[in-house]
Amino acid sequence: MDAGNGSGDAKLDNTPTQMDSDSGAQAKDKEKEELTENMNKLHIEGSSSGSGSSNIRRKPVIILVVGMAGSGKTTLMHRLVCHTHLKDIRGYVMNLDPAVMTLPYAANIDVRDTVKYKEVMKQFNLGPNGGILTSLNLFATKFDEVISVIEKRADQLDYVLVDTPGQIEIFTWSASGAIITEAFASTFPTVVAYVVDTPRSEDPTTFMSNMLYACSILYKTRLPLILTFNKVDVAAHQFALEWMEDFEAFQTAASSDQSYTSTLTQSLSLVLDEFYNNLKSVGVSAVSGVGMEAFFNAVETSAEEYMETYKADLDKRREEKQRLEEDRRRESMDKLRRDMEKSGGETVVLSTGLKNKEASKSMMDEEDEEGEDEEMDDDDDLGIYTEEEDAIDEDEDEEIDRFGF
């Protein structure tokens, strides 16, 4: 019986320790549950490993028409719209030039319906180029709605023709132009059609300027580019094709001028030789309609190239961006978890800065009082006295005179 009682006492002695350990484990589990619940309230989720694959539609193909002022972009757009109607091609037209007065074609989406160019100039005190740039920036803030509209009609469209502002630098080198281009390229196959004024490009220097600009657009947008030599009804573009294929023919044409510009142009022709090899070029006429079939064939080839090459590069950049974003979120989540574990679930009062303001104000008052005291001491040192002090000095002088010998 005693042995049994002893074993019973031992069991009773062990029971409180087990209960303490169980309660400690339950407390830890409860703390973890509260921590998880608080983090869920803050809408913090764990980083999910996404595949990073993009859902890019095969149709419609976006055609961005860019080019120097006077190269015939708007007239070419009119011809492209007429060709789509003639060949029963399902097209969608968009105008991104807020400063154009009249359009020779009907636009499905027009930036002028959203932003008033002249009102922007008046309100922000801007000139013509600044007004165009600001109008395009304002339009770009709502460009996700444009993408959603095109996505709804994607099954009914083959091409989306986009006319850009006359000042090429406003679209190609601005933030709004980059936003619009990337929004298109991340959703649909996108092709850039660079319009060249063929008669003006007969000068080797002007031709080289156009090629350099086309090269910069190609490497900035990272999209397929088609060199579109416009106005072939005025001047044939065979000379340009020859200069692109044989740099010696271009140097022979440029050697007639012995200026520094000509020497620089000849040197650049050697650099751009590799650039010409991977470039598509067509000759068109916006007035007569010559070369429209060749243009759309080049667009189809470029769209296939986009799906094979440029889409892979776009997916790679998107995965890299997603990885960096996940790393940033993971770091911020870990930091928040450490802070919440350190606080132990207690309420943390954030400093609003009011106490700091009061403390700084009191410190400024003390500094002002100290400054006044120092000024009074300085006055004493300099021999500057008040009226009361002057009266005391006069009384002292009278006493001295009275007791003087």
Blockwise average pLDDT, block size 10, the chain, 405 residues: 45 46 59 57 40 59 93 94 93 94 93 93 92 93 93 92 90 91 91 95 92 91 93 93 89 83 85 83 94 94 87 78 87 85 66 53 62 55 50 50 44
Alpha helices in 153-272 (DSSP H): 168-172, 175-185, 204-221, 238-245, 247-254, 260-271
pLDDT reported for residue 116: 92
Q: 147-162: string of b/e by CB count within 10 Å (b at 16+)?
A: eeebeeebeebbbbbb
How many other C-beta atoms can be found within 10 angstroms of the C-beta atom of residue 199? 14
What is the separation of C-alpha 177 from the centre of its chain, rounded to a whole number of angstroms? 9
pLDDT reported for residue 119: 94
What is the torsional sign of CA 272, 273, 277, 283?
Answer: positive
Q: Which residue has the tokens 């090629």?
A: 211
Residue 327 DSSP code: H
pLDDT reported for residue 158: 93
Amino acid at site 153: R
The domain made up of 61-319 has a fold known as Rossmann fold (3.40.50)
Q: Under a CB-based contact definition with an 8 Å cutoff, are residues 157 and 90 in contact?
A: yes
CB-count burial class (<10 Å; 0-12, 13-18, 19+) for 209: middle
pLDDT reported for residue 282: 95
Task: Report the candidate in 224, 191, 240, 201 with the shortest Cα–Cα distance to residue 80.
Answer: 191
pLDDT reported for residue 7: 44
